[in-house]
Amino acid sequence: MMLQNRLPAYFPTALMAVVAGTLAYFVLTFLQPRALVSAVAGVMTVVILVFGLWPEEVARESIRKPWVAGQYVYSNQVVGADVPGMGVKSEIPRIEAHGFLRTHVFVPQDQRQVTDANRVEVGRTLALATCSNCHSLSATGMRPLRHYFAGNHTESEIAEYLQAALAGGNTLYMPQIPLKDDEARALAAYILSTLPNAGVNTAQAGVAAPAKE
């Protein structure tokens, strides 16, 4: 259950395969010590090191809390807290005042303003810049964003959720992401556009989790 949504679908199976393989190797060499010539031992040491570390690293990265650098740089690159000793200032007040689109350096010039024509595209830019470091924007990969919006939600409901849950920074595992009204609507429009049939989420492998209320 815990692994659903959070990690790629193949992950639990792969993890179990690594554990089973390692155990099998130890049991085998316990029963057949003669099989343990140095070439086999050498290869297996590398195999166990690589495949033993890999799931652990993936799991560790997947549960990384919002900070990527000591409680002041969020993993989406936004500086989220003051560090007086280093002269570092939080970018949050500036984002709150002017919006993400006008303050983020990598937003294309023609997307600084939300218009009827570009809103889904702007929403995608916002998702890329603020969510994609933790939520995959496709149907596979790490915590796909679309899996959290199963069910029938309107654009304004999603926008409201985004502003309530993320704007205040009250979600411990996500960065504070203040979005202006038009930015939240654009991001909501983009999220809706990724759902299979606008609002009815039939996401892969039936793991669509209902978004928390």
What residue ranges bind ligand HEC (CB under 6 A)? 5-6, 66, 75-76, 130-131, 133-135, 143, 145, 148, 162, 165-166, 171, 173-175, 177, 211-212
Q: What are phi and psi of 72, to 5 degrees?
A: -140, -25
Contacts for 161 with CB less than 8 Å, ≥ 6 apart: 153, 211
Compare residues 75 and 204 and give the one whose CB is closer to ligand HEC. Answer: 75
Q: Print burial letters for 131-170: b (CB count within 10 Å at least 16), e (below 16).
A: bbbbbbbeeeebbbbbbbbbeebebeebbbbbbeebbebe
Compare residues 18 and 201 and give the one whose CB is closer to ligand HEC. Answer: 201
- Smallest CA-to-CA distance from 91 within 121, 122, 124, 129 is with 129
- Smallest CA-to-CA distance from 164 within 177, 149, 145 is with 177
| Minimum CB–partner distance for residue 82 and ligand HEC (Å) | 19
| Minimum CB–partner distance for residue 108 and ligand HEC (Å) | 18
| Minimum CB–partner distance for residue 116 and ligand HEC (Å) | 22
Compare residues 76 and 111 and give the one whose CB is closer to ligand HEC. Answer: 76
| Minimum CB–partner distance for residue 84 and ligand HEC (Å) | 24
Compare residues 73 and 174 and give the one whose CB is closer to ligand HEC. Answer: 174
